[in-house]
Every structure is written in C-alpha cells, then in structure tokens.
Structure 1
Amino acid sequence: MSRLDPIVDGVRERLTDDSRSDASIIVGTMLAVYALYLLFGLGMGFNFNGQINALQRITFLTAVFAMAGLALNLQWGYTGLFNVGIAGFMAIGVYAMGIATAPVDPESASAVPGLGLPVPIGIGLGILAAAVAGLLISLPALRLKADYLAIVTLGFSEIIRLSFSSSTLTEFTVGGATMGTGGNSGLNLAGDPSKLVRTFYETGFGVAALDGISDGIIAAFASVGIERPVAVNLTYTVLVVGLLILVYFLIQRLGNSPFGRTLRAIREDEETTRALGKNTQLMKAKSFVIGCGLLGLAAIFWQGSRGLTTPDTYLIELTVFVWIVVIIGGTGSNTGTVLGAALFVSLLQEGPRFLRSVIQNTVDVPRAPASIGEAVGALGGGDPFPLVSYVFDQLAALQFVVLGFVLIVIVQQRPKGLMGHRKEPASTLDLTKPRPTSDSEGPGSEVPSDD
C-alpha cells in the first residue's frame, strides 16, 4: 500500500462529509420554506395546482438568485473584486441572446429583426457576450481597487442600460444584417429558453422517441392532478435547478483548485501573492470573466424566460438584490449563497406579498388613509387598523425599508453572514495531526492523519 493512500482517503472522506453537510443544510432550509408557503397557500385558499405553482415560483426565484449570487461570490467572496455592475452584465447576456434568436423577418411590424439563430446557440452567444464584456472591463478596471472598481462597474452598468434604451440602437444594420434592441419599448425574446420545454412537450423536437417520453411525463403529472401549464412551468424550474447544481459544483471545484486558492490569496494580500510569482492581474481577469459569464447565464434563464425584456428591468435594484443574497449567506461561502437566496426570496421578496394576501383573505382590512399622519393619528383613538391598512397599501415601498433594516442588522450582528464563519484552508489536505508510525518505517515517514 502506498504511503499516499491514507492521505487520499482522508481528503476524499473530508470532502464527502462537507458536501453531505452542505446538501443537508440546503435541503433542510428549502423544506422549511416549502412548509411556510404551504401554510400561506392554505390561508389564501389555493387549490392543489395553486400550491404547486407557489412552490414552483419560490424554487425558480431561489435558483436564479443563487446562480447570480454564486457568480458574484466568485468575484467578491473569492477574489475581492467589488462588482457593482451586475445588472449591466445580465442585460448584455439577455439582449445578446434575444438579438441572436430574433427572426430575420418577424411577422409583426413592431418586432425588431435579428439573426434567426437556434435557441441553444443564442444562449451560448449570450453567455459569451457577457463574458467578453467582463474581459473588456477587466483590462483597465482591475488595476483599480475597492470603491474605485465599484464606481467603474456601476458606471458601466448604467451606460449599458442607457445604450439599450437609446433610439439609435432601436434598429440598426451591421454587415447587411438588420437587428436592434427595441429601445425603451423593449425586445421581444423569440428565443425564450422556456420555449425549449414547451417545444419538448408539444413536438418532442420532432423525434418520435422524445415525443413519446413527453407524453408519458404529462400523463404522469395528470395522474396526480397537475395540469399541463403547471407541469410545463415545473419542468422548466427543474431545468433551472439542474443548472444551479452544475454552477454550484463548478464554483466549488474552482474554489478547491490551485486557481481558487490563489484567488483567496489575492483577496487577502495581493502584494504578497504577486511577490510569490503569481500573475495577479491575469488571475483577477479570469475570475471576473467567469463570473460575468455566469451572470449572463442566470439572466438568460431568468429574465430571458419572460418573453420580453426592457432596459428598466436592469436598474441598480437588481444589483442590490444579488448583493443582499451574498451578504445574508456570507461572502466566500457557496452554501451560504444558496441559503441567502432562499431566505431572501421567501422572506424578503415574496414573503410580504403572500402575507398581505393571507391577511386580506382572513381579516376585513379597512380602506387605507391618505397619509401616514392620519394612520398614526388613529392610534390615539385606539384604532390600529388604519395604520395596518396603510402599511399594506404601501407595501412595495416599505419593502425596500425592510431590506435596508435587515442589511443593517446583518452587518452589525453577523458581519460574515450565516455561513461566512466557516474557514476554508488553503490546503485540501488535513495536516493537523501526524499519523503514528512504527519504528520500522524510520524517521520522517509520518503521514497526515485522516481522522
């Protein structure tokens, strides 16, 4: 038996235990979220398909926010790159996919023509466009640090959004091909990725075997009472969750590789890392490009599945939401990012809306007063309902107040997030305990323990 065998066995056992622990944390959190929304559904009087739709929506939003959060975690949590241009890179991915897949001769006169490429190629081009944009920005911007990089990426994001809304780019011709962004009216997404699922169920992509499989899946859903539209949405969500799992393991493998350990070294002390012979600019550029490509992927399967995209979708709020996901979970923790996405979506984004509907279905809430002064004044007379109804009426605006309050509490009480306290050593080997050896092995023959 080789002396390296105990080391290899110890590493394998350690990585397996960590992955099992992370998986159990994520699954447990999602089960708790599902239980909460099942109670919400009962309070709102949802039927079976309504309950499935609610759980599907929560799962879908959690998956896309988690994918975007993992991309940011690679840039910020691993490398220390303060990217505030998330919305801009997402917009590039979606618009590139939309332009690539739009028909050359659209049936509608108001629709903008495109290149007419197949949806899978359009998705690939969208991811590539976001990555290339990240590369172009990284060349000059990564020489900057901290808040200076944040200012550059924020400015880039706004430039992209305003460019897509410009009338100049509404429709233009390049090399004889006419295309455009649609301006403020937005761009119709003929290459909506969710159409892949609908095509699979409708025609099986023209393959008889796949058509039979799709019919069998629909029949299986129908046997448990799930209607066809709900089954299509559920299948698309399963596809997105599968992509999330792939992205998660990609980031995990990158983080545990020499590349990932170098990124963490750059985050902690770039000057020392450079003194050790590492090309820190190249490593940071690689991290930024990969992260931007993954942001494009998340946006394509999220915003790209809505059938229409507009520049106003990519405001600074979108960037803030993704940052909140990472902050809640803990920078540098991939498991924490997924947990942060689940908690953000279920409690902060969708939770207030569902809670409002439940209360309105169970309590006769009076009409909201015209101002906060009237609502608070009613408390003096012992009537709290005007204030409650005013809060419900202003829930969309107050939601941002709640988000700000939650951020303040997390930064003060848990600055490293839910999972950011977990240490990730530079070595994947457990070098803490030497293994006792027999005298016959001689001095210097100790190997690390796999305990």
Structure 2
Amino acid sequence: MSEDSVSEGIRTWITATDRRLLGTVIGITTVVFTLLALASTPSIDGAVGTVRRVFFFGLVYALVVLALNLQWGYAGLFNIGIAGFMMIGVYAMAILTTQIGLPYPIAIVVAVAVTALFGAIVSLPALRLRADYLAIVTLAFAEIVRSILSSRQFSETTLAGYDVGFGGATGPDAPPDPLKFLLYEEPGSLVSEPNAVGELYFSVLAPLGIDDSTAEALLYILFLVVMVGLFYTLLSRLGSSPFGRVLKAIREDEMVARSLGKDTRVFKIKAFTLGAALMGFAAILWFLESGGARPSNFQSQTTFFIFVALIVGGSGSNLGSVVGGFVFGTFLLQGPEVIETIIGQQLDPQANPQTIFDAFGGFDPLVAYTIDNLASIRIILLGIFLIYLIKNRPEGIVGKRKETASSIDLEQRGGDS
C-alpha cells in the first residue's frame, strides 16, 4: 500500500468519526433540552424557543472557540484578551451601520478589518513575549478597550464630521438582525409587514404552533449553523496548509521551526491577527441577534468561559473546538438556567433566605437560595467540572486528536514494497 493511500484512508476515517461524534452530541443535546423545555412549559412555541436559545449559545461559542484555537491550539499564543477583540468588532459594526450609515456588508467587512488591525498591533509584543507575559499584555488590552468604550467621555463624540459615540454603559444602538431584510418589508421600523418570503416561511411554521418571532429566531440558528461550517472549513484548510503546519511547528518547538528557516515572528503575527479578526466577526454574529451589546457583556469572565470551552473540547483540534464550544454553551452555560426555570415553576418556593446558613433551614429555603444564587453556584459547579476534566481527561471530550505539523501519518512503519 502506498503512503498516499494510507494518508487518504486516515483522513477518511477521521471524517466519518467526526460526523458520528457531531451527530451524537447534537442529537443528545436536542433530546435532553427538548424534554426539559416541555417540562418547563406546555406550549410548543415556548419549548421551541427554549431549545433555540440553548442552541444559539452553543453555536456562537463554537465560533469564538474556533477562532481561539487558531491562536492557542495551533500557534500556542496565550491570548486572554478575547473579550476586547469581540468588543471592537461589535462596536465598530454598530457605529458604522447606525451612526455613519454604511451598508451592512461593507460595515461588517470594515469592522472585521478594524479588529484585525488591533490584533496586529497587539500581536507585536508576541515577537518578544511568551506565555504568561503575552497573556498579561492581552488582558490589559481588553480592560483598556472596555474602559474606553464604557466611559462617559466617549459616549458621544465627533469623528470625521460624523456624530458618533460608544454609548457609555448602554453601548451603541444596534442595527436590525440582517435576516429581517429577508423576511420583512421595512426591517428597521417598529411595525413592519412580512414580505412574500416572510409570509411563506411563517405560514409553514404557524400550523406547528410556532409564532413569527420564534420562527424568525430559528432562521438565525440555521444561519449560525452555516457560519460554524464555514469557520470549520476555513480553519481546517488553513491547518492543513503549509502556513498551518508552520504554526503547529511553532507550537511544538519554536526554536526548531526557526532553525529550518521559518520567520516565526511573521507567522505568529499573522495567526494572531487572523484569530482576532475571526473573534470580532463571531462577536458580530453573536450580538446582532440579541439587538446589541453593552460593556458588561465583555467582562474577563467571557474570556475565561471561552478558554474553558476550548479545554472541554480539546485544544489543538478544530473538531474539539466545535464540540467544546457547543457542549459548554448548551449544557454548562444554559443548562443550569433551564433547570432553574423548571425548579421555580414546579416547586414555587416561598422562602427568602438571606444567607447560605438560612438556606439549610429546610427544603423550601434551600430551593429558594439555589434559584436566587444560580450565577454563583454555576461558577462553582463549572470549576468542579473543570478540575475533574483536567484530572481525568486532560485531552478533552474529543480525545487525543491534536493536529500535528506533519501532513502524513508518521506512525506508519514499513509498508508494502
């Protein structure tokens, strides 16, 4: 058997396994949250809305984690300023569309380019700094960005003759969801009638008990699925290209890559810049559907969550990034909220405990305290899960699938002559 046929066979096996794994994860998520949603509401529309929200967070986290995998999983660049790049992308797009008046496609391209520019500037320290030092620089950058964009001084200003502003604590006004242009006559107005496409689409889902707003949100989920597929394809092709193989070589041993004649500085800058641009684009897709973003959406906790999602799936693997982001966004992030809703509706606790000691005064106070402090309890449970994962399965859910720098299977020995 020739070396090419062996390599092709390995790639085919991985592709089939990837499909089975993704199908299993999506199937389990759909079944679990459909049952939980039906337990929390008898309405089909309400249940569909709950599952849609869960899938939304799973998909947007998959997008950002894929971008982070390019920097950390491929090149080993420790970027903990993810929230800052996301914020730049969202704010730039919102200002360009609602305040300057650029068309949607142009505004998104310019916003992504602006995010890439900031990524290139921040990546310059990567030429001299490594590991925790680079992490400190990126963290400081993210906090500087959040402080500037949330400041009252820059809430309203003038730029090149345009009255623009960052909106302070409330953020800038966001443009309408781009898919509204596909469904409505005047998507920007408060009252707008569906166009021919919208009427047809809504009429198909109406007999199932799904109202127009939920149907519109479901369409955005399909759009995000397509975008995750495009991100995955782009980064997989990039990873298997000569550029991607150099990045993986830098991750394993930068000195060896440099000794082979590769300018590792340039490769790291390109990887960091492209990753930052993809983070900005993913953030635009994230917050377009929710109607805008505020500085409070971009705390350091956001960066922490994204890193946890990458660890959950498996760093260095695009499949691990998708699985980790999806599992984290659905089960670990949204799962407790869905369970909280069910507990609150089914048990309806009347107690109002003020401290954790009061909560142990009986079943009703314990349930009430758990519901009121879900955010804190979720962080504790997330920490426990992360410790367990690192101790028992440090390679993540996907397993030992880190993509190597070699384009052939180096484990094969001998062969048919």
Name the TM-score, length of structure 1 as normaliser. Answer: 0.86
Name the TM-score, length of structure 2 as normaliser. Answer: 0.92
d(CA) in 2 for partners of 1:83, 1:200: 37
Alignment pair present for 1:147 and 2:132: yes
Displacement of 1:307 after TM fit?
2.3
What per-residue deviation string (whole Å, max 9, x for no partner) do you get for residues 308-331 of structure 1?
322221110111111111011111
2:285 aligns to what SS in structure 1?
A: helix
Say which is worse superposed, 346-355 or 13-22, in terms of deviation.
13-22
Displacement of 1:302 after TM fit?
0.7
Displacement of 1:14 after TM fit?
3.0
Pick one of 104, 118, 126 that aligns with 1:133.
118
1:178 aligns to what SS in structure 2?
A: strand
Q: Percent identity?
A: 38
Alignment pair present for 1:409 and 2:393: no
What per-residue deviation string (whole Å, max 9, x for no partner) do you get for residues 214-273 of structure 1?
433332223433322111111111111111110011111111112111111101111111
Alignment pair present for 1:243 and 2:210: no
Which position in structure 2 is the counterpart of 1:419?
398
Alignment pair present for 1:156 and 2:141: yes
d(CA) in 2 for partners of 1:385, 1:182: 42
Contact 2:316–2:402 under 8 Å retained in 1: no
2:184 aligns to what SS in structure 1?
A: helix
Displacement of 1:427 after TM fit?
2.9
Residue correspondence of structure 1 range 250-265 to structure 2 within 5 A:
250-265=234-249
What per-residue deviation string (whole Å, max 9, x for no partner) do you get for residues 321-370 of structure 1?
11111011111121112221222122221111111221233335341322
d(CA) in 2 for partners of 1:423, 1:155: 30
Q: Which amino acid aligns with 2:243?
A: F
Which position in structure 2 is the counterpart of 1:173?
158
Q: Which amino acid aligns with 2:25?
A: T
Say which is worse superposed, 116-125 or 363-372, in terms of deviation.
363-372
Total equivalences in the alignment: 410
Which position in structure 2 is the counterpart of 1:107?
none
d(CA) in 2 for partners of 1:138, 1:147: 14
2:179 aligns to what SS in structure 1?
A: helix
Residue correspondence of structure 1 range 336-415 to structure 2 within 5 A:
336-376=320-360, 378=361, 383-415=362-394
Pick one of 324, 327, 351 that aligns with 2:308.
324
Which position in structure 2 is the counterpart of 1:44?
40
Contact 1:141–1:152 under 8 Å retained in 2: no
Contact 1:84–1:319 under 8 Å retained in 2: yes
Which position in structure 2 is the counterpart of 1:273?
257
Q: Show structure 1 runs of 5+ residues with no match.
A: 103-113, 437-445, 447-451
1:429 aligns to what SS in structure 2?
A: coil
Which position in structure 2 is the counterpart of 1:77?
73
Contact 1:332–1:420 under 8 Å retained in 2: no
d(CA) in 1 for partners of 2:205, 2:407: 44
Which position in structure 1 is the counterpart of 2:56?
60
1:282 aligns to what SS in structure 2?
A: helix
Displacement of 1:126 after TM fit?
1.5
What per-residue deviation string (whole Å, max 9, x for no partner) do you get for residues 161-190 of structure 1?
011012332222233222121122321112
Which position in structure 1 is the counterpart of 2:190?
none
Pick one of 155, 179, 182 that aligns with 1:197.
179
Q: Which amino acid aligns with 2:93?
A: M
- Cα distance, 1:214–1:388 mapped onto 2, change above 3 Å: closer
Which position in structure 2 is the counterpart of 1:443?
none
Q: Show structure 2 runs of 5+ residues with no match.
A: 188-193
d(CA) in 1 for partners of 2:220, 2:402: 35
2:153 aligns to what SS in structure 1?
A: helix
Contact 1:142–1:149 under 8 Å retained in 2: no
